[in-house]
A and B are shown apart, each in its own frame.
Chain A
Amino acid sequence: MHPDLQLEGVQLSVGGRTLFEPLHARVHGGQCLTVMGASGCGKSSLLAFVAGTLDPAFVAQGSVQVGDRVLNGLPPERRRLGILFQDDLLFPHLSVGDNLAFALPAAVRPPALRRQQIDAALASAGLAGFARRDPATLSGGQRARVALMRTLLAQPLALLLDEPFSKLDTALRADFRRFVFEHARSRALPVLLVSHDEADAAAAGGSVIELGVGAA
């Protein structure tokens, strides 16, 4: 069971303009909090703040915690938060298998065991035998699934989803959504999803926060 992801009084402002009211939330392992709002409401910036990649032009208040660990001030590489973006962002110079190897912690040794875990991850994504493939030869849905497996292999403590379904076409979107939430649930990961699509929130099945209501 993973520790909770907690936001305490999180508020962002840019150029003296406050983007939203202070945000309090606690996401248990295996649950999903969906943050909704029109574009420009600050939902992606909220995610960047949690991930530690917020543009310095923003002023942020409040704290982010995973369990007892306060993440504020930590560089992104030490937060152990997995992120999925709109684009799959598979590294084009690496094979599918090497993309996954990049994510797998070094403690997983020897090479034979690493390969075994990579193959298992691919199999669980319905992509058995794809390790040597060039990511560019995969379909959009396949790439999205590899991106999720890559994120999960790094053994994150929580999952951040930055509209990862919005660029997939409608048929794929429902499939991939189900795929992501099943994996998150089976690993009992707390999930923070930002989206402007009601269907995402419905599929996530957790609580929903609407941003930008009240603050103009």
Chain B
Amino acid sequence: MGQAHDALSSRLGDRLDEDSSDGLSDRFRAASLLRWAPAITLAAFLLPIAAGLAGTLLPAMGWLPALGANSFSLAAWHTLFQAPGFVSAWQLTLFTGLLSTLLSLLLALGVVAFLHQRPAARRLGEWMAPMLAMPHSALAIGFAFLILPSGWLSRAVSPTLTGWELPPDVSTVGHPSGWPLVAALLLKEVPYLVLMTLGALNQINAAAQLAVARSLGYGPAQAWFLVVLPQVYRQIRLPVCAVLAFSLSVVDVALILGPSNPPTLAVLAVRWFADPDTRWVFPAAAAATLLMLTVLGSLLLWRGLEVLARQWLLHRTRQGVRSARSAVAAGLATALAAALLGAAATSMLALALWSVALQWRWPAFLPSAWTWDNWWRQASSLVPPTVTTLALAAVSTLLALVLVLACLENEVRRRPSGRAASGDPGIAGRRALWLLYVPLLLPQVAFLFGLQVLLVRVGADGNFWAVVWAHLMFVLPYLFLSLADPWRAFDPRYTRTALSLGASHWRVFWRVKLPILLRPVLLSSAVAFAVSVGLYLPTLFAGAGRIATLTTEAVTLSSGADRRVIATWAILQAAFPLLVYALAAALPRWLYRHRQGLAP
């Protein structure tokens, strides 16, 4: 590592007097600098995660010298297994995590199979894309406002249809089965997987193969399932696994919509970690470890399901049955997904109304009196977290963008060269880059606690930059995931043409490549920005509870504050990512309004 560091700084020195150098050596030096990008990027991630995991595993085994625990024991596990409701908590975790992932994937695939050959598909993509920018917790809060016994849905049908004079005495939010949690996860994950699948379609010759399949007698939906799905699944596997890991270990949505007693395993772990009695750290660490094992086991189980599903599709392919059932199923999935999209939009509308409601008695469908006071009264408490939120998101997105572009440029520039030795860090880096996705495939709580212990030890907990770093772990993979394909698909002949005209690599990057790829760069950055704004647990742990963002405040308030207060926070939390996304979509459109070749 020390050696690598020296090599890097000497190359950085080289870069400084690059102006006087000719194009050839400039190219060489730029590539030399870039080839360390994957190593630096991975080190920035994997070391803290490894340390964080160790810092969670060891306390689970009873070892945490900071608290005077110096011997290994299984006491933490005993406490965990004996805790009241432990079994239900684990069952709830498995049920909500697996069910929401399975439903998200099935609905998303059904939607794409139904719409791919219709012009509606493009518009659907445009409608769903902003959902990526919506923070989970804002959506969950809005959804709660919709489904509460006194929520907007029951107001819409009461008392005329139901005869209810009072909000019905039933449990919705916090229902022990966890269905509101599953539904809220679907609101966000279905659009995400639809967009990922639509993106993957561009990489195979789907239209021509479907034309063949249809001429052989298969309807469009069945043809899509039998011919296209087996080819695109490999590209969406990673997003699906990320959805699975996320759904099993989500904390903010489970706090807002999940049952509280017992809660999910992730919430249980966080609750115990936060207990003033530090002895609870040990069972908390055990719970976090168990959650990690559960996620790993579920990923294996998912792999098994994939193999079974593939075998089944192959079996159907060999039978040659032309059936209309796929079309019916795909149509049904599309209808359900449309209903989900409608529910998401209605949830946001409910938030907006509450934020300007003065008086909104049950069962009135709309507020009876309106006011901006909810906003003005809280302005002073809203502003500081807003500033923190925006600063965190802007800084972490910018850092992630620099690292991702460096990694991608490194990869693209050495792609065609057969000269590179196998020990070349650039090549090794490209292969190792999948490690970037590790933070998305592990439960956050499993390494964030250990990371916090580490930060405390170096006195950096609650530091702005510590939180930026924690955000980077999640912002960067999403940025990489959405930018890698467009960057790799860039026609290298543009680069070669520009180089042959005498431009340096640096100049080609700024004057040719970045302008042409401006749209994907901005949209991916907007997604990254939204990820940062929505992060709850990383902010909480790395910030040691002292760094308040819109998300941490909104989640905290959601457990009891006045609906009008909660609504202002949630609206603000959702507004910034959406605004940034809208700007990112509009800017290239406006800049290139006279450039048809760059039209979206």
Contacts and interface: CB of A to CB of B under 8 A. Distances in A.
Contact of A106 (B211, B223, B322): B322
Interface string A95-134: 0001001111110100100100000000000000000000
Interface of A: 51-53, 56, 75-83, 85, 87, 89, 91-94, 98, 101-106, 108, 111, 114, 150-151, 154, 156
A91 B217 CA distance: 15
Contacts of B223: 77
Contacts of A93: 227, 230-231
Interface SS of chain A? loop
Nearest to B209: A89
Contacts of B317: 94, 98, 101-102
Contacts of B230: 93
B231 A77 contact: no
Contacts of B320: 101-106, 108, 114
A152 to B, nearest CB: 11
A93 B217 CA distance: 19
B493 interface: no
B227 A91 contact: yes
Smallest CB-CB A-B distances: 5 pairs = A76-B214, A106-B321, A93-B230, A101-B318, A83-B215
Contacts of B20: none
Given A77-B216, A79-B215, A154-B217, 4 more contacts: A85-B212, A91-B231, A102-B226, A114-B318
Contact of A77 (B209, B227, B321, B322): B322
A77 B215 contact: yes
A106 B205 CA distance: 26
Nearest to A51: B215
A94 B119 CA distance: 29
A25 B208 CA distance: 27
Contacts of B314: 94, 98
Interface string B119-152: 1000000000000000000000000000000000
Q: On chain B, which size bracket covers the interface?
A: 20 to 34
A72 B89 CA distance: 59
Contacts of A108: 320
Contact of B214 (A77, A98, A102): A77
Given A94-B317, A106-B322, A85 B208 contact: yes
Contacts of A79: 215
B436 to A, nearest CB: 27
Contacts of A81: 215
B192 interface: no
B319 interface: yes
Given A87-B208, A89-B209, A82 B321 contact: no
A113 to B, nearest CB: 12
Contacts of A53: 211, 214
B273 to A, nearest CB: 46
A23 B581 CA distance: 51
B326 to A, nearest CB: 12
B600 to A, nearest CB: 19
B218 A77 contact: yes
A190 to B, nearest CB: 15
Nearest to A107: B320
B90 to A, nearest CB: 37
A53 B215 CA distance: 9
Nearest to A89: B212
Given A87-B208, A93-B230, A102-B226, A77 B217 contact: yes
B324 to A, nearest CB: 10
Nearest to A150: B216
Contacts of B226: 102
| B220, B223, B320: residue with the most chain A Cβ atoms closer than 10 Å | B320
Nearest to A93: B230
A53 B209 CA distance: 12
